[in-house]
A and B are shown apart, each in its own frame.
Chain A
Amino acid sequence: MKSNITLIEAPELGEKLYEFTHSSGLKVQIIPKKGIYKKFAVISVGFGAVNTKFILPGQSEITTVPDGVAHFLEHKLFEQPDGNMLERFNAAGARTNAATGFSKTYYYFNCTENFDICFDMLMHFVTHPYITPENVEKEKGIICREIKMYEDNPEYVSSMNLFKLLYHKNPVRKEIAGSVKSVTETTPQDLMLCYDNFYIPSNMVLTVVGDLETEKIYDEVCRHFDGFERKECPVKYFEREPDSVVAYRSEKKMDVSRSMFAIGYKNDPSVLIGDEYLIHGLAGNILCNMLFDKSSVFFEKMYEKGLIDYSFSSDFELDRNYAAASLGGESDNPEELLKYVNEYISETSANGINENDFIRVKRSLLGSDIRMLAFPESIGKLFSSMYLQGIQGFDYFNVYGKITANDVRKVLERVYMREPVMSVVKPL
């Protein structure tokens, strides 16, 4: 085994991980899966929709690019001089796709055959952009159709409006794809500027999962990345986000059968240092399930009252750049539901966290997370996304053992004890 490859084992999960850092700064994770056909590879780049302002290395001025540039770049990378990569992967029998999130962009494929060809193509197209004035112009039409498609999706609209209520300055309040106007204004220069500065190996992680030879992956990575030097990443600039929210209510009318609501609590991830980040994230997830899942008193009561149905869900989102806890679903009377939510949170805070509920929900979530590890795509995406947040995948599982009811109590006080905001999409 090459000397700089480290092996980390988690026998209780039935998984292991090989990892190494290439001289270019690229981080590589290999998760072996003996005896299964499916293979998965993903490259995640630490550049997403929120990174529209940054300070380039050696400069002091802030550079601003149009909204939606990360998403535009994601579309464009699939285009190569010899055709569209979507087509080439398809021809090899693989399924490929990419997604742009608030703070990352990732490119991946799944296959059962032709892994070597696909792996080669993935590493090649992510590192070789082909951006011309003509193909940028052509892509604008497609992206604008995509933006229009999202505008018709009431769930998307209600969650987007929630971020607009919660955040004053943080770019998560803007659509990931940008607006028709910002897309129309985007130039090939904008795209190349972002590409050259953010698509550098030290700002990427490559994760592969499957019945694969570690040494061969290592050699292939070297073949593609040996020519890259370690480069400095621009400083991602964020305007200071006030602690307050923008407003408490927003309403939009759409062609829906009943109201869709999104209730949100603003949270601030910047104060979480070291281990606190992961503990806060998992404790928050346990708490939001304890408070609102189908085993909760709240769900039962509201369901009986007909204020919610099975579409009701709760989420605890935590990212290095933004964080929020939310509730969503359909209801005939979101205002009344919100009143109950507020009462319920005060009661829970007064009565304290039930230790038995805590143990049960924690056990249940760990069980669900372990089940997901069986699937190459799930484990690959989890490890890739964790790495970009500075976390090694198995640590995510190890932290379960460390979390106490007290951590959960802290999240309750910090996140849920403030006044929530609500966005509603109402029938016409």
Chain B
Amino acid sequence: MEKIAEICGIEFYYIENSNFKSDTVTVNFCDRLDAKRAYKNAVIPALLWRGCRDYPTSKKLTVKCQELFGTAFMTDVGKRSEIQHMLFMVDFLKDEYVKAFDGEENFDDEYIAKEAFKLLIKVLTDPVTEGSGFSEKYFKQECTNLNNDIYAEKNDKHHYAMRRCREVMFAGEAFAVSELGYAEDGENLSSEELYDYYRSYFLKKVPCRVFYCGKKRPDALVDMFREAAATGVFGDGERGGAYIDYVEKHYISREEIKSLTEEYEISDGKLVMGFRTNTPQDSDGFFPLVLMNTVYGGGTSSKLFKNVREKNSLAYYAGSRVSAVKGVMFVTAGISPDKFDTARAIILEQLDEIKKGNITDEEFEAAKNNIINNLRNLAEDQYSLLDYYLDQSFLNKSYALDEYISNIEKVKKEQLPEVAKKIQLDTVYFMKGTKEDDDEE
């Protein structure tokens, strides 16, 4: 990865790769999660996708993308620890494959790419407006849609249980803020206020990184951004940094362990346990922690999979995920409501095994191979690759893919119990199913 430009504080990175049949650009606005701004940030991508001056409806935008040989244009709002991530992505076919289409005349070099870049910048900077606001109709509809998405979060119980655990564990911290914001923040928001926010803050102040993955440097893309910037739309270049803080609080006392059970009408119970890892990202324990998590609950040779699922048939899935950067680890399992105590005990017992150093060479090697394979696989898919580099860009200490891999390779088994000993249980959340078994047939 190479940094190729910086325009008004927007950083441009180029990742060379010619293995794919398409080239990809992502524009990533990365704001620190803040309850006051979350809703506004979340509604903007969907609103911009409703149309720009040249293509004033989603229908016209879609038609344009389809004419460009099925160019994919997507917007999204996500969360990376306490960063709210607003994504604009364009993925388009390389010129050389146009010959697979019957009766297509030869296009100018980079025709698809240039059209796709132009469209991307138009959508970002030239939305449909009305007076001094966004189009009133689009604004209202997208607020309604966002509200519906907020209410719909509980439809996916697994995801929702994770969110509830995070909210309990990080009450009052940025990490607990929802990336979709809160519906009540939309109630008093006007289209004018949002438009002003978009012009004066979103485009000008939110840290922004543009990644491009393709065969050669995207000079045309950089030129087009520079041209747009000349109008002042991206401000004067003062943007805060986007970074992930290590947890605000560590080492809690035993009395502070939180436990919450909530009842829902479902048949499978969802258990989520939140732990504090107490190992900062820039410390020596970082890579051992990544490995320790995999030995514990990452994948099918992990202790949790073997003991919760295979040995005791307690769950269909059981695993752990660590945000080593953030200093937290979550264990999740889908269990029947009467198995709560058993599952909780086995999950803690397996962590104790690691603390005691009971890790076989097979478990350790499997975890290592697994992580390395996953990392190498990243390079085989431009979306994952761009994702990896975006995540790295949030860290004080970042690693190129090869560097990350060699650091994993260097970890010794003896280091794992050391990092495990620092891990502390913080929150136990149980979404308890109350549905009676109704097995007709």
Contact = CB atoms under 8 A, between A and B. Distances in A.
Contacts of B156: 153
Interface stretch (B69-77, B252-260, B320-328): B69-77
Contact of B151 (A181, A257, A260): A257
Interface in B68-89: 68-72
Contact of A37 (B21, B335, B380): B380
A255 B100 contact: no
B370 A93 contact: yes
B381 interface: yes
Contact of A38 (B65, B71, B377, B433): B377
A142 B339 CA distance: 13
A148 B268 CA distance: 6
A374 B22 contact: yes
Contacts of A219: none
Interface string B5-30: 00000000000000111100000000
- Chain A CB within 10 Å, residue with most, of B58, B96, B362, B373: B373
A249 B59 CA distance: 31
Q: How large is the interface on A (under 10, 10 to 19, 20 to 34, 35 or more residues)?
A: 35 or more
A193 interface: no
Contacts of B124: none
A370 B334 contact: no
Contact of A36 (B306, B309, B369, B380): B380
Contact of A363 (B101, B141, B368, B374): B101
Interface stretch (A1-9, A197-205, A264-272, A296-304): A296-304
B155 A256 contact: yes
Interface residues of B, number: 77
A48 to B, nearest CB: 19
- Chain A CB within 10 Å, residue with most, of B362, B368, B377: B377
Given A12-B99, A255-B264, A293-B62, A146 B316 contact: yes
Nearest to A300: B59
B400 interface: no
B227 interface: no
A181 B437 CA distance: 11
B144 interface: yes
B428 to A, nearest CB: 20
A151 interface: yes
Contacts of B362: 91
Nearest to A305: B141
A257 B268 contact: no
B116 to A, nearest CB: 12
Given A93-B370, A374-B20, A84 B93 contact: no
A90 interface: yes
B396 interface: no
A171 interface: no
Nearest to A78: B300
A182 to B, nearest CB: 7
Contacts of A174: 441
A180 B268 contact: no
B193 interface: no
B58 A145 contact: no
Contacts of B65: 364
Contacts of A36: 19, 380
A84 B57 CA distance: 53
B67 interface: yes
Interface string A361-397: 1011111101101111000000000000000000001
A181 B440 CA distance: 8
B141 A304 contact: yes
B267 interface: yes
Contact of B70 (A67, A146, A148, A366): A366
B125 interface: no
Contacts of A376: 380
Contacts of A145: 268, 313-316, 334-336
B151 A258 contact: yes
A14 B21 contact: yes
A363 B67 contact: yes
Contacts of B299: 90, 95
Contact of B97 (A13, A111, A143): A13
A326 B265 CA distance: 28
A215 interface: no
A257 B365 CA distance: 45
B300 A113 contact: no
Contact of A295 (B63, B93, B433): B63
Contacts of A128: none
- Return the 5 tightest CB-CB contacts between A and B, nearest first: A367-B70, A93-B369, A141-B313, A86-B300, A367-B69
10 contacts: A13-B100, A86-B301, A145-B314, A179-B441, A181-B441, A255-B265, A361-B66, A366-B70, A370-B100, A375-B380
Given A151-B267, A297-B59, 4 more contacts: A142-B309, A142-B313, A154-B155, A255-B266
